[in-house]
Chains A and B, each alone.
Chain A
Amino acid sequence: MTGHDRLVEAFRAGDDIAFVSLYNIHKRSVYLFGLKMLGDTDEAKDIVQGVFLKAYERRQQLADGGKFKAWLLAIARNDCLTRIRKSGFQTHLSDEHSELPASSLETDEEIAIIRRAVGRLAPEQREVVILREYEDLSYRDIATVTGASEGTVKSRLFAARRRLYEILKPVFAERRTP
């Protein structure tokens, strides 16, 4: 049993200090996921608050202590999808008409372009890209978070990469040209 597993067990047994430790370990992942899904810092902050409050109240519902991060991200995912649905699928990321600069990209600019491109993806594709590329979860853990099969995760990830390629190809092609 790892130190993390022991923290999770202590949290499930009602140890509040263990929960604060788990919060410190996973807060960035939950914030990053909320920010990448919704594209707004205030909304990402709300997601973090909601996720940890729900986790605290639902500690008895955590079936597998080894999947604590996936459990947190599953709560975050549901909250994000609820917000996206309520906003009529309009997020701060999904500006379909924003122009992508075609040349002289610096790293920061390239990061911003990729972020906007990820924001253009459909929510079910966006979430798998974030969980894979930024959270570094395995197909199995992504399947746990999203409630989909591993095969579905794999095909959604490929579809998302194809879509990102279509969006980014002209930008990166220009960048390669001297």
Chain B
Amino acid sequence: MSCHEQQQNASGFIDGELDPARQAILFAHLAGCTECQSFMETSMRIRDRHEDIEYPADLDETVLGRLMRAREIRVAGFWRRRVVLPVPALAAAAIILIFLMVGLFNRGREQSKPAGFAQPTAVIMIYGIPPVEILGKIPVTPANQFREQ
């Protein structure tokens, strides 16, 4: 085997990636080759000379501060986003809403009783939009009479 091949093996040995059979051949070669010994020694020396690098003290604040701002922008952006719907979808949604309101209003009138009073019978929650209350009449029950006061 040439010195080039043995130095490739030496590189693998330094990384713990050389199998035992080739390791034995490498060591036999190194015993008689000063050039490959020198290559091995230099490569090992680079590995061993680790420097202690100090992490900049101000960097934590900078990085985490930027992350906080990014997070705030993301959260704010979610609530400020504009929802764009195509006209047919908007028209369909409006028609459904009107039918729903009319149906609830008529049902409330049919079921009205003397003891009843006006208060919300349904609350339509649309994500990101304040609740829409639809007024109707429901009977007074022990569960809701306290709310009237």
**Chain A residues within CB distance 8 Å of chain B:** 16, 19-20, 23, 27-28, 31-32, 35, 41, 45, 48-49, 52-53, 56-57, 107, 110-111, 114-115, 118, 129, 132-134, 139, 154, 157-158, 161-162, 164-165, 168-169, 172-173
A139 to B14 CA separation, bound complex (whole angstroms) = 12
A157 to B16 CA separation, bound complex (whole angstroms) = 13
Q: How many B residues touch the partner, as a band?
A: 20 to 34
The answer, among B51, B53, B56, B63, for a CB contact under 8 Å with A52, is: B63
- A47–chain B nearest beta-carbon distance, Å: 11
- Assess A157 versus B53: contact at CB under 8 Å? Given A27-B59, A53-B70, A172-B42: no
Number of A-B pairs, beta carbon distance below 8 Å: 87
A133 to B7 CA separation, bound complex (whole angstroms) = 17
Q: Are B70 and A57 in touch, CB under 8 angstroms?
A: yes
> Using Cβ atoms and an 8 Å threshold, which residues of chain B touch A154?
11-12, 17
> Using Cβ atoms and an 8 Å threshold, which residues of chain B touch A118?
46
A132 to B11 CA separation, bound complex (whole angstroms) = 11
- B77–chain A nearest beta-carbon distance, Å: 12
A133 to B50 CA separation, bound complex (whole angstroms) = 9
Interface of A (DSSP majority class): helix
Q: Are B49 and A139 in touch, CB under 8 angstroms?
A: no
Residue-wise interface mask of B (84-116) relative to A, using a CB-CB cutoff of 8 A (1 in contact, 0 not): 000000000000000000000000000000000
Q: Are B66 and A161 in touch, CB under 8 angstroms?
A: no
- Assess A52 versus B55: contact at CB under 8 Å? Given A133-B47, A134-B50, A157-B11: no
